[in-house]
Amino acid sequence: MTCLCVPVLVLAACAVPVTGHKTTGLLGDDHQQRKIRTTSGTRGKVVSARVRMSGMDGGRGRREQEAAGRGGRAPAGGVGMWALAASNLASLAYLLHQHYRPRAGAGGSVPRTGTGSDDANGDAPAPPPPEPAVTPDAVIDLELGDPTMYEAFWREAGSRAEVVIPGWWGMSYFSDAGRLCQFLEPELEREVRRVHRLVGNAAVDDGYHLVVGNGATQLFQAAMYALSPAGADRPVGVVSAAPYYSSYPPQTDLLLSGYYRWAGDANALDVDGANNNDGHIELVCSPNNPDGAVREAALSGGKAVHDLVYYWPQYTPITGAAAHDVMLFTMSKITGHAGSRLGWALVRDRDVAKKMVYFLGRSSIGVSKDSQLRAAKILAVVSDAYDGEDETRLRLFDFARRRMAERWGRLRAAVAASGAFSLPEETTGYCNFTRQTVAAYPAFAWLRCEREGVEDCAEFLRGHRIVARGGEQFGGEARCARVNMLDRDRVFDVLIQRISSL
């Protein structure tokens, strides 16, 4: 094992003036950021920071703290000393990567299911556990969008996608305290920008700020917080055109925020002239969850959050680089790593990005670095496969597109044969990534029950041991239901058998 010495230089032991507030300026503190930037040199990184955390919420009123964050500045105070490393931790981690042999038990490759394997501490990599069996009469739960279809791909990828994390790594709250998003790992930022450039689905290089979050779910809340106007009398209304993602209403109103409230279907608003938009925040999901429709904002001239988590080539033709003010993406829907809880936002406006970072700081003091490192590795494997000449390597988008095409073909045939349902019509378009005219293959099937006497599609499906989410939860009809298309092959096979037999 190579000896790695980390020269740590204490460059700045800065006594930040105490303002009398107990709250630390942990995140969003301009003074700290300037200090780091001027003393750390071009590639220097903060590897340890002694920040007094205990007073984070002490003393001050909630409104006051929020006002500080929403104004983009938090007061300095309670900050101890900053130790700066002369060595770049990123390259160090990279170096270590070359020297550590991947071992079972370290990189998430431990079998989780009941195989009885206890050799996690042995030297040989443990084989992945077999896929869970599905009996022909099992209840199949397709209510959530669990993307376990992708497991098959990552089983194949094997140790190439494995991450080993040394015990000392990633302990600080910070990744780079000098940056707008202090807890964003540089490796992740690099790989996120790289995969967007590869696919061409977002204008990632046009001055966009990258904000990492615990899944798109947390970023969506951070975006609403950042976009709602300070000092308004009433909460701003949050809307989305029906059918909308069923989690938008409960996530919006979870804490009954004084800043924003769920206000329903964007198309149901009174949008005559002066009333148009009226300061609403619109959530635009495209391709849309649940029905896969490609969407634009229903309201004009207002604030919008573009939920683009399905704007990847396995689900829809890539028709251009999206360039909206706030765009959300998540690992769950690209590579299937829903369990990593890792998403990102591309944000045009710096102040909006800073307010989102403030929200994430208050909400969870950032995002697990372990998750970020793993996501960076996974995305690197995805991009690498399209970079080189080596055609034998696994290509994720090709894999997922093939699976989706096959699944949609089978589902449409089963639906046609049964006559009990209908589906949204297939759409096609020219995909600038695959350079072909291709069909859209949404991550969900938006089934409509056509059988006479059936008013509630989810209930009807439940009678056939298929758990789906009812259309009313999406602001749509009970005659419709959403079915996950991304479960494992065996579950999907049972779905097709059941639908065919109806």
Residues 43-62 that bind ligand NAG (CB under 6 A): none
Does residue 320 bind ligand NAG (CB under 6 A)? yes
**For ligand NAG, which is the closer residue by CB, 250 or 320?**
320
Tokens of 21: 């507030």
CA distances from 407 to 411, 442, 451, 466 (A): 6, 10, 23, 17
Q: How many residues bind ligand NAG (CB under 6 A)?
A: 4
Q: How far is the CB of 200 from ligand NAG (least distance, A)?
A: 5
Q: How far is the CB of 492 from ligand NAG (least distance, A)?
A: 32
**For ligand NAG, which is the closer residue by CB, 101 or 435?**
435
**For ligand NAG, which is the closer residue by CB, 113 or 436?**
436
- List, in sequence order, the alpha helices (H) in 163-277: 186-199, 215-227, 248-252
Give the count of beta carbons closer than 10 Å to the beta carbon of residue 62: 9
DSSP assignment of 271-324, as one string?
-SGGGSSTT-EEEEESS-TTT------SSSSSEEEEE-TT-STTTS---S-B--
Tokens of 36: 């780091």
Q: How far is the CB of 286 from ligand NAG (least distance, A)?
A: 15
Q: How far is the CB of 322 from ligand NAG (least distance, A)?
A: 10
Among 321, 439, 454, 496, binds ligand NAG (CB under 6 A): 321
Query: Site mask, ligand NAG, residues 182-221, x = CB under 6 A?
Result: ------------------x---------------------
Tokens of 252: 């919006």
Q: How far is the CB of 69 from ligand NAG (least distance, A)?
A: 36
**For ligand NAG, which is the closer residue by CB, 128 or 200?**
200
Q: How far is the CB of 202 from ligand NAG (least distance, A)?
A: 10
Query: Site mask, ligand NAG, residues 239-268, x = CB under 6 A?
Result: ------------------------------
**For ligand NAG, which is the closer residue by CB, 321 or 365?**
321
Cα 44 to Cα 480: distance, rounded to the nearest angstrom: 55
**For ligand NAG, which is the closer residue by CB, 302 or 313?**
313
**For ligand NAG, which is the closer residue by CB, 199 or 210?**
199
Cα 205 to Cα 313: distance, rounded to the nearest angstrom: 20
- Write the single-letter amino acid at 398: D
DSSP assignment of 353-422, as one string?
HHHHHHHHHHHHSS--HHHHHHHHHHHHHHHHHHHSS-TTS--HHHHHHHHHHHHHHHHHHHHHHH-SEE
- Write the single-letter amino acid at 185: E
Residues 409-438 that bind ligand NAG (CB under 6 A): 432
**For ligand NAG, which is the closer residue by CB, 173 or 386?**
386
- Cα Dmax for the chain: 76
Q: How far is the CB of 206 from ligand NAG (least distance, A)?
A: 12
Does residue 132 bind ligand NAG (CB under 6 A)? no
Asked if 51 and 14 touch (Cβ cutoff 8 Å), the reply is: no
Residues that bind ligand NAG (CB under 6 A): 200, 320-321, 432
